[in-house]
Structures are given as C-alpha cells and as structure tokens.
C-alpha cells in the first residue's frame, strides 16, 4: 500500500513538473512578437570603434528571419578606420538584403560616409549632414615649454617619424607630406560618396569642401533620398519588402554609453600620445 502511494506521489510530481514546463513554454511563445522582422543597427555618438556595429550587421546578414535592415545614424563622425570598416560591411549587407538609412539629428562626416552605403537615405528636415571632408589637427606647445624651461629631445629613425609632433612647429616639407595623406583619404571619401549616391565624381567634389547641409538642403543636392522620420523609413522598407501587418523591429547591441565613450576617448587620447604616429585622421563634423 505504501509503495503504491509513493508511485502516485511521484506521478503527481512528474505531472506537475511537465505542466509547469508547458505553461512556461506557452508564456514564452505568447510573449514573442509575431510578424516579419526588420533589423535595426544603431550608430550613436563619435565613431571610435567598429566591432559592435559590424557584429550587428553580420548577425542580421546571416539571419534568414531578418527581411531587411535599417541603419539608424546619429553621429558627427569619428576615426577614419572604423568608419570605413562599417561602410564596407554595410555594402556587403546590401548584397543580400535591403538596407535603408535613417538619419537622426546629426549624420555628418563619417556618419554620412556610412550612410552612403545604404540603398535609400532618409533625413529629417533639420538633420545636420554632409561635412564631407577629413581633418587633421596639431597643438604646438613648443613656446610654452620654453617659458617653463622644458626642452624636448627626440631620437628618430626617419625624417618624417615625428612629423606633427606637438613639441615643435611643423616644417614645410612635413606639411606637404601630411597634406598628401589627407588628400588621399579625402579622395577615398569622395569616390565612395559618388559610388553610393550614383553621382558623377565632379558633382561629389562640389559638395566635398567640408560644408554642412540641413536635411532639406541635402535632399535638393541629391545627398539624401527622402525627408522623413525613423518610422517613415520603417514604413517605406515594410512596403518594399511586402510585409503584411506590423513588422517586428529587432535591435542590435546598445550602441552608446556615456561612461564607455568617456573611458574609450581617454584611452584613445592616451594611446595616441604614446604612439609613434602623432596625428589622428578623422571624418568629423565640428559644430
């Protein structure tokens, strides 16, 4: 009799466990949004690194459930290398899926560089965009060091190894050398804008003097396609993809943390000061 009661008790426990798992499973299923999916890659703030953004792009490219992708950009630009890496990954994404771009309050310089890789660009009427150019900056503290009695000594292996150092004024030949590098990077920017916007090189050059545009001006110039909000971009992509009903927006990693940005910026500055290359080349809009 006792043995039979134990069997019944174990059976009840087993049924309870199965029922609990079933309820949890159904809650999970019911809690999931239904509908076809659109991926959203957010690019916020100064572009310092590209790893997280590229991982989001690759993830959405390989996910068959993601029908199309929106690149949401709210950035004044940033470092050249990460900007070009993201631009290239967006182009690769376009080979497999529809990619639209939505501009926030600012999508300038490196932000605009990335935007040109999208198939269609939306801007708000007052979005600050453009700023197609490259910037190099040098702060010279030579006179200040002399006033406080500090002298800098440099040992170098080549003539241009310390070109742009803050410890002395730049020589004419060093300015020419660095200017040639700047021009080369600028040409890469112009070529990618011309390719992405399907415009003649001469037209792209006309807009590539560093000037900024509002979204409305950019639309007139052919730098963006349409004036509209993020949700206008969603609606347009939804129609293009023939999605019935409300699409599910799948977001990538959280793109911006102030503390992360602060510590990354400080680390970037320290690394730059310790580097044998004194200059940073940037696609960056400075208000």
Instruction: Note down pLDDT in tens along the chain; length 287 residues.
Output: 555 555 565 555 666 565 555 444 444 444 444 678 999 999 999 999 999 999 999 999 999 999 999 999 999 999 999 999 999 999 999 999 999 999 999 999 999 999 999 999 999 999 999 999 998 888 888 888 889 999 888 888 988 888 888 888 889 998 999 889 999 999 999 999 999 999 999 999 999 999 999 999 999 999 999 999 999 999 999 999 999 989 999 999 765 555 445 545 554 443 344 334 444 556 665 55
pLDDT of residue 273: 40
Choice among 92, 161, 175, 254 that is catalytic: 161
152 domain residue, yes or no: yes
Q: Determine the Cα–Cα distance for residues 272 and 260; give it in Å rounded to an integer.
A: 18
pLDDT (0 to 100) of residue 180: 92
The helix or strand, by DSSP H or E, that contains position 40, with its residue range, turns out to be strand 37-44
Residue 267 lies in a domain: yes
234 lies in some domain: yes
CATH number for 156:
3.90.226.10
Are the C-beta atoms of 104 and 33 separated by less than 8 Å?
Answer: no
> Is 80 in contact with 185 (CB distance < 8 Å)?
yes
* Rounded distance between C-alpha atoms, residue 98 and residue 96, angstroms: 7
Q: Is 161 a catalytic residue?
A: yes
Strand 77-79 relative to strand 212-213, pairing:
unpaired
Q: Which of 50, 75, 102, 109 is catalytic?
A: 109
Q: How many domains does the chain have?
A: 1
Q: Are 87 and 77 in contact (CB under 8 A)?
A: no
The answer to the question of residue 203 being in a domain is yes
The C-alpha atoms of residue 151 and residue 163 are separated, in whole angstroms, by 18
- Is 130 a domain residue? yes
> What's the confidence (pLDDT) of residue 136?
82
Query: Is the residue at 119 inside a domain?
Result: yes
**In this predicted structure, what is the pLDDT of residue 163?**
86
Residue 28 lies in a domain: no
Q: Among residues 196, 234, 229, 252, which one has the least CA distance to residue 70? A: 234
Domain that holds residue 198: 35-284
Kindly state whether residue 71 falls inside one of the protein's structural domains: yes
């Amino acid at each position: 009799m006792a043995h039979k009661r134990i069997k019944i008790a174990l059976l009840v426990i087993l049924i309870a466990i199965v029922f609990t798992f079933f309820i949890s499973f159904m809650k999970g299923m019911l809690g999931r949004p239904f509908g076809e999916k659109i991926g959203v890659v957010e690019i916020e703030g100064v572009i310092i690194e590209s790893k997280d953004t590229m991982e989001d792009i690759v993830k959405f490219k390989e996910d068959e459930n993601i029908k199309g992708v929106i690149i949401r950009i709210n950035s004044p630009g940033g470092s050249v290398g990460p900007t070009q890496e993201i631009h290239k990954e967006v182009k690769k994404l376009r080979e497999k899926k529809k990619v639209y771009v939505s501009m926030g309050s600012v999508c300038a310089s490196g932000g605009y560089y990335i935007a040109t890789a999208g198939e269609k660009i939306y801007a708000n009427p007052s979005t600050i965009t453009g700023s197609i150019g490259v910037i190099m900056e040098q702060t010279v503290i030579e006179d200040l060091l002399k006033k406080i009695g500090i002298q800098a000594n440099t040992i170098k292996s080549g003539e241009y190894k310390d070109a742009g150092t803050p410890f002395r004024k730049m020589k004419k030949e060093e300015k020419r050398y660095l200017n040639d590098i700047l021009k080369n990077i600028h040409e890469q920017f112009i070529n990618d804008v011309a390719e992405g916007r399907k415009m003649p090189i001469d037209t792209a050059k006309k807009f590539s003097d560093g000037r900024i545009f509002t979204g409305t001006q950019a639309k007139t110039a052919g730098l963006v396609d349409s004036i509209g909000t993020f949700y206008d971009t969603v609606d347009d992509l939804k129609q293009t993809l023939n999605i019935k009903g409300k699409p599910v927006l799948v977001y990538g990693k959280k793109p911006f943390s102030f503390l992360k940005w602060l510590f990354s910026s400080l680390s970037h500055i320290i690394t730059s000061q310790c580097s044998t290359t004194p200059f940073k080349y940037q696609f960056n809009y400075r208000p």
